[in-house]
Structures are given as structure tokens and as C-alpha cells.
Chains A and B, each alone.
Chain A
Amino acid sequence: MFSRRRLLQGIGAAAVTAPIRLGFAAVAMEQRLVVVILRGALDGLAAIVPYGDPDYRQARGSLALEPPGSGDGVLKLDGTFGLHPALQPLLAFYQRGEFLPVQAVATPYRDRSHFDGQDVLENGEPFVSSTATGWLNRVLAELPQDGGRRLGLAVGQNLPLMLRGPVETASWAPSRLPEAPPQFIEKVSLMWRQDPLLGPALLTGLKAQAFSDDVLASDRMQGRGNGYGPKAFAPLAQAAGNLLAAPDGPRIAVLEMGGWDTHAGQGKLAGRLAPNLAGLAEGLASLAAALGPAWRQTVVMAISEFGRTVAPNGTNGTDHGTAGCALVLGGAVQGGRVLSDWPGLAARALYQQRDLRPTLDARALFKGILSDHLRVADAALNQRIFPDSKAAPAVAGLLRA
């Protein structure tokens, strides 16, 4: 670890050390923001269950969960909504006022392709486009620049589109590969210097690794969280929490979790969905625990590209839909309530006679968090971060005063 750190001081100095300081002291940013991208379209009606809607039981058919109070019932949030039993670890957050479930939310995207839907969720455009930078990278550009410190963190092997862009970010993934010796890395960085893609990536990777080695005492993490499936998420979330908790660590992180595309055998308390929900809840709880006191300054938001059909399909699953739910958690959140302009599940209320109708633009939710939590200016939110989004004004009152 020590040698890695010294190495960083030696190589590519111009790229890794602080650029010229402007005439103000760096602002120590204490707010944390974590976005969890739930890839594959989480069934929002199965997570935040509208058991009190008069049309719920009929509309959901074989996928309808029992009301609160019965043995297998949902966990009561209020008179309309309950939590899927597999999300039980999140109930305590709700009771402490740190969990704000959001229902009937959708990005502006209205077709049903995962891939276009995720692009819109991540690049922040009002329609499908080839924009190759993410809105969270544009948020980073608006934050006070603290020397060369990287405030953004991607957890996992990939750099999600949401974080891609001109502002450099760190990344971390568990590795079982042995570390390469410092003198070797030094020679590689000489060779890679001229390569516009490889050169910067290596320097960023080294810096992030030196940092995360210090924070995570890396052997503890060796071999965990590699792979996929519901149980792979919690170790990643825990590592993210540890990195975000460090005083000089990143402040904005993106995690990903897949496995939500439940076309068949979705099930209720058993099936393909429940274990994934349990893995998500366990991960979010681990993240909170790892953040420790920093949890008070944290907002976590988990969201999918879209929701799923209200009615089950022919194979005890659900197909691609429109509005879904978002899970907003954190010590900074004004929670303990469900945020929803609930459109209802009556046949005439559905979008295209099949999907939950969106009543909240996801960009309005994002903007509310960015504005109140990170103090990003309205002009930047409406024009640069979410282009042409004036029609989706920031939701007020998401955070504790």
C-alpha cells in the first residue's frame, strides 16, 4: 500500500496532483449521494404495494399480495401502501423517518426498450439520444472543485453512463488478481502515457486503488462480491459505504444491481423477485451501517429505467411497463411517508390500458435532491444537467429542513 502511494507521487505527476488552485479555499463537501441503478425494470407495484387501492386485487390478479396484518401480508406504510415482506430491513428506516418510497414515477421515456430506457435514465435527456455523458457527471462539474480529488465513484467493473463524462471519477471493484509490482506499473504507465483512453484510465485506477486499499484493508474484501445474483450486491454496497465514509473519500457513488427483468416466475413471496428484493434491502442496510455517522448527511436513491405491467402476463411474470417506484433513503431524507400523486389502478386510469400511469417525472425527483442536498443551482439543473427540463420542476421538501 505504502509503495503504491509513493509510486503515485512519482509517476504522471501532472495528471494526478492538484491543478492550479484558484483563489479560494477548497470547500469540504460532507453531503453524500448514492444512486443505485436497478437494471432490468423493477416491478414497482411489487416493492411498494398499493394494497389499499380498491382495484389492486383485481388488477394484480395472481401477483396480488395480502394486506397488512395477515401472516404473509405486506408491511404497512400507510393506509394505501405497504412494503414487500422481502424489503423488511427497510421498515426500520421508514419508522425512523429516513425512508421515502416514491410511487408512479418515470423518466420522460415512454417506449419499452431496456436499453433506450436506461440511456434516458442515465444521460438525463428528455428523449432518446446518443448523448454519451451522464447527468451525474454534469453534476460533478457544478460542484466546488477540491484540487484533483475525485468526488465521483463507480462501484463495479463498469463505468455506468450516468457517471461518464469529462469530470474524472474513481472506480472500485473487488479483485482476486494479485497486485502488480510498482516498478512494473511505472513502466506500463510510460507506455500508456500517449494513449488517450488507456493513459488517464490507469492513473485514475491507481489513485482509486491506493485510496480504497487504505480504507478497506483490502484483503478483507478479497473474493467477495465478485459475480452476480442477489447476494452479490451487499458486499459492494458495504464497500461503497466505507469509501464514502472516509474524510477524504468520494462523495457521489453509483452502484448497479441487475436481475429485475421478471418476465416469468416472478412470484409473490417466493419466485424470482423476492430474493432480489431481499438482496437489495440487505445491501441498502449494509451501506447505511458502513457510512456510520456520515449517514446523517446521505441521500440514497434506487431507481429503474421503467416499471412493469400492472396485470401479470401469461407466465406468472410481468412485461415491460411505464411508471415504477423509486426508493429514497438516508439520514438527510424527510421520510416516513410515501411520496405519490397516486393515479390508481382502475382500468381507465392505466397508461395505454396496461401500465401504471406516471404522475411524477423522475427528473423532478433528481432535481429536488440535487437542489436541496448538493445545492446545485436551478439554472444548471434546468439547462445543463437535465436539458429542456423546465416542465419538470424540482420536487420540494424531500430533505429534512
Chain B
Amino acid sequence: MLTRAAVIAASRFGLGARADEAAALNADPPGWLQRQLAPHAPLPADLAGLPPAKSYAREILQSRVDRRRADAETMKLIAQRLRPVYIEEMTLRTAAMVRSDMPYRERLVAFWSNHFTVSARRPVVAAMTGGFEREAIRPHVTGRFFDMLLAATRHPAMLFFLDNLQSIGPESRAGQRTGRGLNENHARELLELHTVGLDAGYSQADVRALAKILTGWSIGRLQRDPDPGAYRFQPLAHEPGTKTLLGRSFREDGEAEGVAALRFLAGHPATARHIAGKLARHFVADQPPAAVIDRLAKLFRDTDGDLGAMARGLIDLPEAWDEPLGKIRTPQDYVIAALRATGSRIDGPVPVQWLNQLGQPPFGAPSPAGWPDRAADWISPEAALHRVEWATALARRSALSEHPTAIADRTLGAAMSGETRQIVTRAESATEGLALLLASPEFQRR
């Protein structure tokens, strides 16, 4: 039987307890979490050997070589190749999360992937989302925020998603020659969503300045550059001159100018506060106490944005261990926790289809702001009903070798109410008992 603290470690911080984790969880819940934060964790086995995102960026460039047929060829590439790659990538990602021995680490990966959202709703981005997570997020999840920011900003998936690869300084040589110019999409979201946040009070002029600073941050071109599709600074597209961002001047310095600007933004006190607020909302409560945000923001500043220290700091927060379980599992957390609880082997893309039906297609957030993070965002009447229906569907597919109450004891343990336990125990069949367990309010929450 899991203790209450073990349930919080497994559910609030992790992806729900698996059968073989009960002993370690009960022995030392905070220690079980700490052990998942080693500086260099290997890539999950399910994800090893997958092609890099830049290979898909290159295929997109190739589809556009014949200008007259570029759009038609790109659409064909999306339908016949990029979309199936996306489904395959997301299937493997879901499997990796189900099988993970480091579920807290996986939750942090998902948190940061959502913070730096790239979305498959832009069809050209879809196939690159898995690579984005592997290449830009995972290596830095216990590293420096600045390094993750730099990797995410330069990643081909992000450059496509927020259009920066096409943004050209109007006074640059490329701008003068082609008459093309700035696209401020990436710069705006980088300020608003990735770093300082709206509360920092920046202006339209700051957005333009950062857009100019980031001109030239693009990808290698076919035939002209050594590694087409990979990140490449294109000096001819870079806007010359000094730019002023949030009161700080950045002298003309080509690519280094953008690196300096990102370093400045990563170290800005508003960024510390923005990140602290989001982490607190995700791991503590929908409305986290101000004192918690203050402590996390201070930790971020004191450690120069050390995300490993932040992850350990979350475990150390007494408020993060408060009961009852107040957060609602997102559909992704819910599906993965159910698969971990039951040990069901579901092959193929079925879990990805489920996530679609439950309203959270993987890497499919509706906007660059990513998925929302409050209970009310996930429990509309329609969504509530879909969760109940899905619990039945999964239970029917699961081949059960043990009684549902045994699964309940090692997943919800002491956090389960007497009433829920009784209803699960008195189910008319093992299948119904399992469905009731998965539908129970305690299983919806974390």
C-alpha cells in the first residue's frame, strides 16, 4: 500500500506509480525523486537512433526546389511522409514515458517542451517536434536555462514554427536586394512566453529590436551551405546597427549579438519570476502561494538559472507535498498514468489517437503559449465525460492478471477515499473495477 507521501511523489511529480515502484517509493519519496535528476541522463531507449529534426527540414527545402510546384510538393510531403513520421515519433515518445524509470525527469521534459512550444498544428513542424524535444530540451533539463533557451531558439522546428528563418533585416544586404523584411513573430513570443513575460512591461519597440537582433538566425540552404536544414546564421540577412532591448544596447555583432541578447534575457529578474511562477503552478497548485514563487525566483537568480537546482528546489518545497491532490492530470498525464498503473501493453499509435480524442494531441497545442495548466482548463463537461468513456475503453482492452483493488493499493494507496475503495471493490467484474479505479476522482488528480 503506497503511503500518502509516496502517492504525491509518484503522481504530483511523476507520471503515476508503476507496479514495480511501490517499495522504492514508500522507502523514501523525496529520495526517489532526487535520484532522477543526475546531470547526464541517457536518452530513453525507445527514442535512440531516431533521425535528427534537421533531416526533415532538409526534405521540406527539397520539396520547394521547383518554385512553380513548391506548395503542392510540400503538401504531398506532409501527407505522405511528415505526418506519418509525426505519428511514429509521438507513439515512441508516449511509450518512452510509459516505460520510464525517471518519470519526474519526463515530467520536467514535458514541462519545458510545453514552455518552448512548437506545435504540429503547423503541419511543416509536425515531424520535427520529437527531434526538438530530444535535441533542444532533454540535454538541458537539469542544465542551464540559458543553454535551453539558446538551443530552443535556434532549433529548426522553432525557426519554422515562429517564422524566424524567413525574417530578414530590411537594411541587410538580402533585404536590400529582395525587398523582404522583418517578421516579428518569434521575437514577440520569445519575450512574452519564453523569457521575461508580459509583466516585464516591454514595448513594441523592444519586440522590433529583438526581431532585428535575431535576423539571420535561420537554417542552411540547399547546395549553398554545408548542412542544409540545420541551424545556420545567415550574415547577409542580419540587420546592421545598434539595437536597444529593454534599455540595454546591443552593438552590431552579427550572430553574437543574439547570443548576448538571449543571455541578457535569461538573466533578467522578470525571467526568473516568470519561470518560477510557471513551475510553481505546474508542481504546487493552480494558484501557488506568493511565497513559493518568491523562493523559486530567488533560487533561479542565485543559481544563474540552474534547472537541476530548480527541480531539486521543487522537491524541497513543503507546499509541494500538501494534500489534497489539487491539480488535475492533463489528458497526457492521465493516459500515461493509466498505462503505467495497469501495465497494459498497447502497441502502435493507439495512445496517440486517445490523446487526440481526450483533447491533447501530443505537441499539438493550439498556440505558442502551449497547453494550459489549471484544472478548469481541462474539465469541461464534454472533457469530463470523455475521460469516463475512455476509462471504460482502456479497461476493456487491458488483460488483467490481478484484482483491481491490488492495482488501487499500489497506485493510489492511502490517498484513496474509503468510498472509492468500496466502489472499486464491489464492482461487478474485474474490468469494471479497473475502469472505476481509472475514472475515480483520485486518479484524475495529482
Residues of A within 8 A of B (CB): 39-40, 111-116, 128, 132, 154, 156-159, 164, 169-173, 175-181, 183-185, 187-188, 190-192, 194-195, 197-198, 201-206, 208-209, 226-228, 258-259, 261, 263-264, 270, 313-317, 319-320, 352
Partner pick for B385 among A159, A205, A264, CB 8 A cutoff: A205
B183 and A313 form a contact (CB under 8 A): yes
User: Is the beta-carbon distance between B183 and A319 smaller than 8 angstroms?
Assistant: yes
Q: Is the CB of A352 within 8 A of B383?
A: no
B359 contacts chain A at the CB level, 8 A cutoff = yes
Do B381 and A191 touch across chains, with their CB atoms under 8 A apart? no
B389 within 8 A of A: yes
Q: What 1/0 mask marks residues of chain B from 142 to 175 whose CB sits below 8 Å from any chain A CB? A: 0000000000000000000011001110100001
Known: A191-B423, A228-B366. 11 other contacts (CB 8 A): A159-B376, A164-B376, A173-B386, A185-B388, A188-B391, A188-B439, A195-B444, A201-B380, A315-B181, A316-B180, A320-B184
Q: List residues of chain A with CB within 8 A of the CB of B276.
A: none
A157-B380, A175-B357, A263-B163 known; A314 and B198 CB under 8 Å? no
> Which residues on the A side are within 8 Å of B192 (C-beta)?
113, 115
A173-B382, A313-B181, A314-B170 known; A226 vs B357 contact (CB < 8 Å): yes
- Chain B residues, CB < 8 A from A173: 359, 382, 386
Q: Determine whether B315 belongs to the interface, using a CB cutoff of 8 Å to chain A.
A: no
25 contacts between A and B (CB under 8 A): A115-B198, A128-B198, A159-B376, A159-B381, A175-B382, A175-B386, A177-B389, A177-B390, A184-B392, A184-B432, A188-B388, A188-B439, A191-B420, A191-B439, A198-B384, A202-B384, A202-B388, A208-B381, A263-B184, A264-B163, A314-B167, A315-B183, A319-B188, A320-B184, A320-B188
B29 to chain A minimum Cβ distance, whole angstroms, is 24
A315-B357 contact in complex given A180-B388, A191-B423, A352-B204, C-beta closer than 8 Å = no
Tell me the bound Cα distance from A173 to B383 in angstroms. 9
In the complex, which residue of chain B has the Cβ closest to the Cβ of A158?
B380
A180 CA to B166 CA, complexed, in Å: 49
| B181 and chain A: residue at smallest CB distance | A314
Q: CB distance B183 to A201 under 8 Å? A: no
With most chain B CB atoms within 10 A of its CB, the pick from A39, A198, A261 is: A198
Find the residue from A132, A157, A178, A202 having the highest chain B CB count within 10 A: A157
* B435 contacts chain A at the CB level, 8 A cutoff: yes
**Residues of chain B within 8 A of A313, CB atoms compared:** 181-184
User: Nearest Cβ in chain A — how far from B396, in angstroms?
Assistant: 9
Shortest Cβ gap from B178 to chain A (Å): 9
The residue from A112, A201, A264 contacting B166, defined by CB atoms under 8 A apart: A264
Query: Known contacts A198-B384, A258-B366: does B183 contact A176 (CB below 8 Å)?
Result: no
Q: How far is the CA of A393 from the CA of B380 in the complex (A)?
A: 33
* Nearest-neighbor residue (CB-CB) of B372 within chain A: A158
A113-B198, A184-B435 as given contacts; A40 in contact with B163, CB under 8 Å: no
**What is the CA–CA distance of A319 and B188 in the complex, to the nearest angstrom?**
10
Chain A at the B interface: mostly helix, strand, loop or mixed? loop
Which residues of B sit under 8 angstroms from A172, Cβ to Cβ?
Answer: 382
Residue B242 CB within 8 A of the other chain: no
- B375 touches A (CB below 8 Å): yes
Across the interface, do B386 and A177 meet the contact criterion of CB distance under 8 Å?
A: yes
Q: Is B419 an interface residue (CB 8 A)?
A: yes
Which residue of chain A is the closest to B120 with respect to CB atoms?
A228
Complexed CA–CA distance, A279 and B379 (Å) = 28
B316 at the interface (CB under 8 A from A): no
Nearest first, the 7 A-B pairs at minimum CB distance are A314-B181, A205-B381, A205-B385, A157-B359, A204-B381, A201-B384, A159-B380
The docked-state distance in angstroms from the alpha carbon of A198 to that of B417 is 15
Smallest beta-carbon distance A271→chain B, Å: 9
Q: What is the CA–CA distance of A179 and B384 in the complex, to the nearest angstrom?
A: 13
Bound Cα distance A316, B182 (Å) = 10
Which chain B positions have C-beta within 8 A of A39?
366-367
> CB-CB < 8 A to B441: which residues of A?
191-192, 194-195, 198
Compute how far the CA of A315 lies from the CA of B167 in the bound complex, rounded to whole angstroms.
6
Q: Tell which of A158, A202, A204, A263 touches B183, judged by Cβ atoms closer than 8 Å.
A: A263
Q: In the complex, are the beta carbons of A201 and B389 less than 8 A apart?
A: no
The residues of A that contact B428 with a CB separation of less than 8 Å are: 183
Chain A hits for B184, CB < 8 A: 263, 313, 319-320
- Residues A112 and B367 in contact, CB atoms below 8 Å apart: no
**Is there an interface contact between B419 and A264, defined as CB atoms closer than 8 Å?**
no
Q: Does the CB pair A178–B188 fall under 8 Å? A: no
User: For the complex, what is the distance from the CA of A202 to the CA of B382, rounded to whole Å?
Assistant: 8
Q: Which residues of A contact B204 (CB under 8 A)?
A: 111-112, 352
Is residue B249 within 8 Å, beta carbon to beta carbon, of the partner chain? no
Known contacts A171-B381, A172-B382; A180/B183 CB under 8 A: no
Tell me if B34 counts as interface (CB < 8 A to partner A): no
- State whether the Cβ of B225 lies closer than 8 Å to any Cβ in chain A: no
Asked if B185 CB lies within 8 Å of chain A CBs, one says yes
Q: How far is the CB of B416 from chain A (nearest CB, A)?
A: 10
B381 and A181 contact, CB distance less than 8 A: no
Instruction: Report whether B359 and A184 are in contact in the complex, using a CB–CB cutoff of 8 Å.
Output: no
Cβ of B303 under 8 Å from chain A:
no
Report how far A313 CA is from B164 CA in the complex, Å.
12
A375 to B444 alpha-carbon distance, docked (Å): 41
Interface residues of B in 346-400 (CB under 8 A from A): 356-357, 359, 364, 366-367, 369, 375-377, 379-386, 388-393
Kindly supply a per-residue 1/0 record for chain B positions 181-218, scoring 1 wherever the CB is within 8 Å of any chain A CB and 0 otherwise.
Answer: 11111001000100000100000100100000000000
**Contact in complex: B163, A315 (CB < 8 Å):** yes
Once the chains are docked, how many angstroms separate the CA of A173 from the CA of B357? 10
Partner of B392, one of A114, A181, A319, A352: A181
Residues in A whose Cβ lies below 8 Å from that of B377: 158
Q: Chain B residues near A40 (CB, 8 Å)?
A: 367
B129 at the binding interface (Cβ < 8 Å): no
Contact (Cβ within 8 A) A317 B392: no
